[in-house]
Amino acid sequence: MTDLVEKVEKIVEDLFDANTDKFDLYHTLRVKAIAESLALEERDVDVEVVSLASLLHDIADEKHYGDEKEGVKQVSAILREAGAKPSLIAHVIDIVSNMFFKGAGVQTPMKTIEGKIVQDAERLDSMGAIGIVRCFMEGLSTGREMYNTDYVPQRHVSKEAYNNSKTDSLNHFHEKLYYLKDNMNTLAGKRLAAKRHKFMKKFEQQFRLEWFANDLEPILQKIRAKSPWQDPYFLHYFSLMVAAIKDPVKFEKMNMDEYDISAPEKEKDKNK
């Protein structure tokens, strides 16, 4: 870690500690770790730029300030405070200004290998087990439903459509998370994305089974499909047994016509 990266990391940690409602420090540190790892498999990479852009990428996200320009100003100010050169500042700003997902139909290409690496790292942290948890946590914080069968996945063709869309958290898998695998820039990113993508698919399959209670054991499935307590004939005969147990003598003397075994069929005829 260079002195510049160390200075910026300390500034970012202090900023995030003071704004825990806006920033997730652990997400940022994971993105940095992933990006530095991906950089090892690429040639001619400025790892310092990769590290700095990873540390500062979330500050440039417009959802934290409501204005992308304000976030970029913050990034520039932090780098200047840490003593970064103008050319390095320009490179980092170019990366953090163009890396975020803005809809499945919106292209967000990166100019440099450093940008491609950081973009892959940020997207990878939106996948797999961590990505699933982050998705549902964000949904909870924004009042988004966990799942609603009325929502249909949309392929947003603009940033505005994506930001303003109404959806549920599981549907978000189909509107963003499942698109990430095919939009990776690096070979290392593609490999890791494939693993995390597969995990998310398995999770969704299990989620849907549990949501509709279709993950029951086979015997329970059969019972649920034809419960005796929903069978009118079973209920009719059960009532006879209860009457006999309560007062067997009286039951024996009573006119059995009162306990007509065709009672369920007669009830059906009444309802026609």
Under the banding of pLDDT at 50, 70 and 90, the label for residue 228 is low
The alpha helices in 98-167, defined as continuous H runs, are 113-124, 128-141, 159-163
What percentage of the chain exceeds 70 in pLDDT? 76
| Closest to 156 in 3D by CA, of 179, 128, 190, 181 | 179
The alpha helices in 40-112, defined as continuous H runs, are 47-56, 62-65, 68-82, 86-96
Question: Does residue 249 or residue 192 have the better pLDDT?
Answer: 192
Under the banding of pLDDT at 50, 70 and 90, the label for residue 240 is confident
Q: Which of 30-39, 89-98, 163-172, 225-234 has the lowest mean pLDDT?
A: 225-234
pLDDT of 215 over the 80 cut: no
pLDDT of 113 over the 80 cut: yes
Query: Which helix (DSSP H) or strand (DSSP E) does residue 263 occupy?
Result: helix 263-271
Distance in Å from the first CA to the final CA of the chain? 81
Question: Does residue 102 or residue 33 have the better pLDDT?
Answer: 33
pLDDT at 33: 97
pLDDT at 108: 72
pLDDT at 37: 97
pLDDT at 212: 87
Query: Which helix (DSSP H) or strand (DSSP E) does residue 210 occupy?
Result: helix 187-211
pLDDT of 134 over the 80 cut: yes
Q: What is the mean pLDDT of residues 60-70?
A: 72
- What pLDDT digit, counting tens, does each position of 71-103 carry? 889 999 999 999 999 999 999 999 998 886 655
pLDDT at 106: 54
Q: What is the mean pLDDT of residues 8-28?
A: 89
pLDDT at 92: 96
CA distance 146 to 169: 5
| 41 secondary structure, DSSP code | T
Whether 124 contacts 193, CB under 8 Å: yes
pLDDT of 156 over the 80 cut: no
pLDDT of 230 over the 70 cut: no
